[in-house]
């Protein structure tokens, strides 16, 4: 079946030959870097009393990293989950390196769940169904939800919907989609811009570096925070079509013109060859190389929250 969706530049996922070379050939030949399956990653106990009440209108946004690409975003009286994968493992065999920032049973009431795309580390169906909130995602995603599941609002790139007083925009990413044998690029992937009364934040979803960051920044010129992936990049020849390394993530941050950089997509699940704790080290080095001010850079502990608010 022909792919329904393509990236903005027309690109598609790796051909099967490249996938075999990465997954089998290079591994058997010893050409892939070896690193441990675990590493120490900082986690703090969340302030559950504070998280129980989202910031009200005019009070900015509270962003809590739950691990990997999972965030609790609270603003204007609503609580949103983005790409929640909160169980002990994904796909049954990739186990967590560090526990979720907030366990499912301790989450506040969730107004909506935002799902960037259908890969198992972003659409963890048991988590989404247990949370039970309405879902906002890309085109074609309803196919994965049975009757009686939470309702799904599908958006095209640059489409938007209201979640209470908050506007959620679905924006392009450089990635791909697949969940089964015959659904390659049959559902749309992307990121989110969450726009409230006194804060506007961006979550990239899974993405490689691409020119689209500049267009997102042009259309949303007042991003108070950008949640950007810094892990799952090694080996670069294979991964750079779908993920960013830390150096590319810094360039994406500058392209976006965001006020703050929040690192994600590292330290939780061992998906690629780099050590789990390497990405923030490379991020810190690149930040220093570019002589950027330190105050906007945030590598949160799992479970840690940051409040952001529109300047002025």
Low-confidence ranges of the chain (pLDDT < 70): 1-3, 312
- CA-to-CA distance for 197 and 147, rounded, in angstroms? 34
Give the pLDDT confidence score for residue 87 in this predicted structure. Answer: 97
Domains and CATH numbers, the chain: 47-308 (3.60.15.10)
Q: Which two tokens stand for residue 261?
A: 């950089």
Query: 64 vs 56, 60, 199, 266, 270, CA distance in Å?
Result: 16, 13, 15, 15, 21
Give the pLDDT confidence score for residue 88 in this predicted structure. Answer: 96
Q: Is the pTM of this model over 0.95?
A: yes
Element counts in the chain: helices (H) and strands (E): 8, 16
Give the pLDDT confidence score for residue 2 in this predicted structure. Answer: 52
Give the pLDDT confidence score for residue 43 in this predicted structure. Answer: 98
Contact 28, 48 (CB under 8 A): no
β-pairing, 191-195 with 94-95?
A: unpaired
Cα dihedral 11, 13, 19, 21 in deg (nearest 10)? 10
């Amino acid at each position: 079946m022909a792919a329904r969706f393509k990236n903005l530049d027309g690109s598609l996922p790796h051909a099967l030959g490249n996938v075999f070379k990465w997954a089998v050939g290079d591994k058997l030949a010893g050409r892939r870097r070896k690193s441990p399956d675990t590493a120490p990653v900082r986690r703090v106990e969340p302030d559950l009393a504070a998280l129980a009440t989202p910031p009200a209108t005019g009070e900015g946004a509270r962003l809590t990293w739950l691990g990997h690409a999972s965030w609790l975003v609270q603003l204007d009286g609503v609580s949103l989950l983005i790409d929640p994968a909160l169980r002990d493992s994904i796909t049954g065999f990739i186990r967590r390196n560090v526990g979720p920032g907030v366990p499912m049973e301790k989450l506040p009431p969730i107004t909506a769940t935002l799902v960037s795309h259908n890969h198992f580390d972003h659409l963890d169906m048991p988590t989404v169904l247990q949370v039970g909130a309405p879902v906002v995602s890309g085109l074609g995603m309803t196919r994965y939800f049975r009757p009686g599941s939470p309702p799904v609002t599908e958006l095209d790139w640059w489409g938007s919907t209201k979640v209470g007083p908050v506007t959620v925009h679905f924006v392009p990413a450089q990635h791909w989609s697949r969940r089964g044998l015959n659904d390659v690029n049959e559902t749309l992937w992307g990121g989110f811009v969450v726009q409230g009364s006194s804060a506007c934040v961006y979550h990239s979803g899974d993405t490689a570096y691409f020119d689209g960051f500049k267009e997102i920044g042009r259309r949303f010129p007042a991003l108070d925070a950008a949640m950007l992936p810094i892990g799952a990049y090694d080996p670069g020849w294979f991964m750079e079509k779908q993920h960013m390394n830390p150096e590319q993530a810094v360039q994406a941050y500058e392209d976006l013109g965001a006020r703050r950089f929040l690192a994600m997509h590292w330290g939780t699940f061992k998906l690629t060859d780099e050590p789990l704790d390497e990405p923030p080290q490379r991020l810190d080095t690149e930040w220093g190389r570019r002589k950027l001010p330190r105050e906007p850079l945030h590598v949160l502990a799992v479970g840690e929250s940051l409040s952001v608010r529109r300047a002025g």
